[in-house]
A and B are shown apart, each in its own frame.
Chain A
Amino acid sequence: MNIILIAVLALGGIGLVSAVILYFVASKFKVYEDPKIDEVEEILPSANCGGCGFPGCRAFAEATVKKAKDEKNLEGLFCPVGGNEVMQKVGETLELEIEAKDPMIAVVRCNGSHANSPEKVKYEGVTSCSFAHALYAGEGGCQFGCLGLGDCVDACEFDAIHMSDERGLPEVNDKCTACGACVEACPRDIIELRKRGPKEKRIFVSCVNKEKGAVAIKNCSVACIGCGKCEKVCEFDAITITDFLSYINFDKCKLCRKCVEVCPTNSIWEVNFKPRKPKAEKVPKKEPDKIKPAAEGKVAIENNDDNKSKPGEDRK
């Protein structure tokens, strides 16, 4: 009995002394952490994708709380995955007004599908775009175009980008959060983050070939040849041509679709627009009556209501 009693008392005593020491140490060396960090982290989508530029959601939460405290704004900090909704909530928590940002989406600026850019050589190496890029120009011969080996697909954590077997090109669906992982992964800088646009309507140049038109068109029938027609027709100064390549500034673009009409190689894409009515039909007064009939399959539908992506058809 005695032994048990001694043991219990000794251990209890040690426990008590340790508890007292620990209590004082803990209060002495206490690290103050703003409870708001936890609150903000709770709001964040915890995807830990790094799309915001910080290593994970916790680091982003710390950065936002610090910035809100020091500078009373959250400029330059944005969670691409959560978007405006989440940022608004973060703003509420931190008692700050947040300006809404335009939602973005990753856009694949290459249409060098099997049909448009037929295979000239056969690649048998490993399925890695960055390796293939260092090795050779590409199966179709375009040295700027998509290699179709799916580094972007591997990089995506949101199941938002997939390879289309039929076209041999990646396609982005509605799940895209614009985290930018695919943009980083692509060795040829084909993928760009662009504005989602009103009602998901977008217009962009689906080509990144910087070669002279004659060379570019040899390898791909839908290459941008830098003819400058779109630049001339644009009323909003949204289109610039550098190195024989047209680029549409999405901040200036008003989605008038004039450039799409004039493009001789169909390299400018319109996404999620209603198919244009044929000329013969009566055109409502509001719309300009110069609209030409759209070529068949010209409208690529990227997003559907049921979240399933339908690949944009190849234009012939």
Chain B
Amino acid sequence: MGLLKTFKLGGVHPAENKISAQVPIEVLPLPKKVFVPMGQNLGAPSKPLVKKGDEVKTGQLIATAGGFIGSNIHSPVSGKVFKIDVVPDSSGFRRPAVIINVDGDEWMDDIDRSNDIVREIKATPEEIINKVKDAGIVGMGGATFPTQVKLTPPPGKTAEFLIINGVECEPYLTADHRVMMERGEELLIGTHILMRALKVAKGFIGIENNKPDAIAHLTKLAKDYQGIEIVPLKVKYPQGGEKQLIKAVVNREVPSGKLPIEVGCVVQNVGTTLAVYEAVQKNKPLFERVVTVTGKALSKPSNFLVRIGTPIGELVEAAGGLPDDTGKVIGGGPMMGKSLLSMDIPVVKGTSGILLMKRAESHRKPEQSCIRCSKCTYVCPMGLEPYLLSRVSKLGKFDYAEKERIMDCIECGSCQYTCPAAIPLLDYLRLGKNKTGQIIRSRNKK
């Protein structure tokens, strides 16, 4: 298996811990109340369209995009708008959200609720992009970048390849794995739709080799779908990073500070592709997603199909309840996820998983002095020098940090994971990136 493709630079091998990999997707019962945050995408938060007391149906538009980089939000349930208020998001900051009291599950009439797979693609590229925009689809791997923006290459650039990201390199998470296993055909149709929207002839689905069943399943199905190739990849974190995946699959390198379209590639997540299929073929906007609820202490690690806005407490309850030995609840995977501040935080479009960590694993080791082992430099997938960048960020030398390409950092956390001195390298890098970004933005304004 030494011939499997992967990216060249850096990378780490954290323990996979994919405990919920063989658990089929289960539909979670509707909650009593949903909290739909208005800021679910990267960029401008959405503007609510409904008022207190309004009756809404499942799939009804309740908020419009707040800007070019923005997305629509649809009601995940039917019921009455309880109020529009602020609720804490994953970081504890209270931000506007529409709170809906659930009353039944009456869907909008134009949504096709049947289980039939619609294979024929009638929509033109423009129609597809408009549908994606209307359905409020964002990158569901966690970055939540509005998909329609990605599908519209800037003038002068054309896409050559579409790469579907089925890597799921984060330990523990299995949501994309289950989607590939259970919704394989829809996924391939979704890939064809995206290929048509981008006017490309070649589509790849990159899957890491730790999911042999998904590779076999999709390879079998893909025979009927022209132009789609399944690419098995060597297991290495962070292969799910856009730039790493492009390097692994088509062996092209995205230049520093540029977008993947520069090398003719567009990368979409598996979950996003499925949402695109549902939006275009079934007229169903994005209001539910597959979320992995997992953890070593959890009695029933599961994959749930959840409506957006469901408090994560309900998911944990359905997965066997919060174990006594819980030290930390993380939204996302263990490498890039963020620990959550309460169990009332709602599921959003970018929530790929909820990970419950045991008390013993959840604490950081005490920080020691750098021993100059340069392990962080070896594992950095972007070829940066984390020890140096963290140092200059700590000292506030942001011009130096910019010269050392701190803005290229993808915040994968490989450096911090590998550091034998337990230095919070990523924290400092994030701090430096934040400040350097501010400086660059204010300079560009002038």
A residues near B, CB below 8 A?
Answer: 120-121, 124-126, 128, 130-131, 134-138, 141, 143, 211, 215
Contact = CB atoms under 8 A, between A and B. Distances in A.
B94 A120 contact: no
Contacts of B94: 137, 143, 211, 215
- Bin chain B's interface residue count: 20 to 34
B96 interface: no
Interface of B: 86, 88, 91-94, 338-339, 341-342, 363-364, 394, 424, 427-428, 430-431, 434-435
Contacts of A137: 88, 91-94, 341
A253 to B, nearest CB: 31
26 contacts: A121-B92, A121-B339, A124-B363, A124-B364, A125-B424, A126-B394, A126-B428, A126-B431, A128-B394, A128-B427, A128-B431, A130-B431, A130-B434, A130-B435, A131-B428, A131-B430, A131-B434, A134-B430, A134-B434, A136-B91, A136-B92, A137-B91, A137-B93, A141-B92, A143-B92, A211-B94
A137 B363 CA distance: 20
A131 B427 contact: yes
Contacts of B338: 135
Majority DSSP secondary structure for residues of A touching B: loop
A126 B434 contact: no
A130 B91 CA distance: 14
B328 to A, nearest CB: 9
Contacts, number: 51
Contacts of B424: 125-126
B431 A131 contact: yes
A215 B86 contact: yes
Contacts of B339: 121
Contacts of A126: 394, 424, 427-428, 431
Nearest to B342: A120
A124 B91 CA distance: 14
Nearest to A126: B427
B106 to A, nearest CB: 32
A141 to B, nearest CB: 6
Contacts of A138: 92
Contacts of B88: 137
Minimum-distance CB pairs A-B, first 10: A137-B92, A131-B431, A126-B427, A136-B91, A124-B364, A136-B92, A125-B427, A143-B93, A126-B424, A137-B93
B25 to A, nearest CB: 31
B93 to A, nearest CB: 5
A134 B427 CA distance: 11
A153 to B, nearest CB: 15
Nearest to A128: B431
A128 B426 CA distance: 13
Nearest to B340: A121
A124 B364 CA distance: 7
Contacts of A143: 92-94
Contacts of A121: 92, 339, 341
A120 to B, nearest CB: 7
B353 to A, nearest CB: 19
A291 B248 CA distance: 76
Contacts of B342: 120
A112 to B, nearest CB: 14
A9 B92 CA distance: 83
Contacts of A135: 91, 338, 430
A199 B364 CA distance: 48
A101 B428 CA distance: 41
B184 to A, nearest CB: 38
Give the one of B428, B431, B434 with max A CB within 10 A: B431
